[in-house]
Structure 1
């Protein structure tokens, strides 16, 4: 940061804001103390998988608003599946005190709900994968069926929900078979991100909950594919 500040003749705050903007746009990667060039895959237009702790701090307010709207889709007595990821973590926090049955494979969310929640909690069995922060078994069937499966996305486009991490793809596919409806929680940045693998095609998605940065073109693309789009706003608590 100091070197960029001296070379560009701007304040440290300006450098940090520009680093955040470039990082969120996927043009380079934010690292401790500065910024780093992307690897070959990222330069070719394919997003890299951010560590959970890094992704958690991006677009936080949009994620909270999306989670708040998604929580209104859950009724008392429902059984829901909440996937790993930072936006889904915010949803789990919103649902912690609700009279529902909640299944999650998210290590951070399971830890939070065990300390703060009163909902009926079922945690996925299997091996703990610290990155991407989920618990998953390659052989054990999911012992749960839900009215809704809530999941995030690294990227979202005409192909569907995209993820770089193969384990996330596998877990999304497995859990998608265990719910009546699939609801994607993704801020509008995700519509400009292309990841390596398609986890679910658009035809499997019932609803997208996103923020008001969604472009008209992307909204039309989603609606033409039969996806219901719900826009979160700051008025939702």
Structure 2
């Protein structure tokens, strides 16, 4: 395959998905990683694509993702599953038996909690989908938030309630968007609940796949400095990786397994 043919094939791959790793491209180009990285650099220089950590992304991926950032939980569960599962695995490795945890709503946090369902841990959650699944399929100690069910974000919340009487070593949460100014969310109740839960945990750990960087949501949730650790996937760009490190955040990059559906 000539260089021109390889470059054309890369662009064809990115028509079907917003990101492709070097390993992904190896399977379709039959070329060495070094050759593929040179091809990526050439396409990046033309502006046709974006060079990101571990691979390449479509130049218009940001516009595509803006349209999906505020999807309901049931729809968001179907997006970026491979990356989310890899992130969930890394998050589970941070949990020790006997830990008390707060786990917020969101599809990545949901997958993470499923890995803890039968672990010797205490979990507090405001997520109705998560609570229902842990009740049916888990043996861990479960504490639920009180209040009314807000179906759009899928959380249980009481406007008059203060912070819960639950103290955790770790607070795992997600975000709809990550920018240099901090995390953002579309639903104001999620923002308010997050502020309360932050008061009851020793550290906050953000689980966010690389699609979330550069998106915008309506409500500011918290600055980057409130996060101690962020777990993302290998689609993160070098610039966003540096942004997190400069903010003093410990960054864990989960390597996506192409064999996981």
Q: Do they fold alike, i.e. is TM over 0.5?
A: yes
**2:195 — aligned with what?**
173
Which string of whole-angstrom CA distances, capped at 9 and with x for unpartnered residues, describes residues 123-163 of structure 1? 11011011111111112231211000000110012111111
Matched, 1:115 2:151: no
4+ long deviations beyond 2 Å:
17-22, 24-29
Question: How do 1:47-196 and structure 2 match up within 5 A?
Answer: 49-141=70-162, 142-196=164-218
TM-score by structure 2 length? 0.73
Which ranges of structure 2 fall in alignment gaps of 5 or more residues?
Answer: 1-11, 19-57
Please, which of 227, 230, 238 is the counterpart of residue 216 of structure 1?
238
Which string of whole-angstrom CA distances, capped at 9 and with x for unpartnered residues, describes residues 97-125 of structure 1? 11010001010000000011111000110
SS at the partner of 1:149?
A: strand
- How big is the shift at 1:25? 3.5
The 1-side partners of 2:196 and 2:205 are apart by: 15
- How big is the shift at 1:52? 1.2
User: How many residue pairs were aligned?
Assistant: 205
SS at the partner of 2:90?
A: helix
Which ranges of structure 1 fall in alignment gaps of 5 or more residues?
Answer: 1-13, 30-41
- How big is the shift at 1:75? 0.5
The 2-side partners of 1:116 and 1:27 are apart by: 38
SS at the partner of 1:192?
A: coil
Alignment RMSD, CA only? 2.3
TM-score by structure 1 length? 0.80
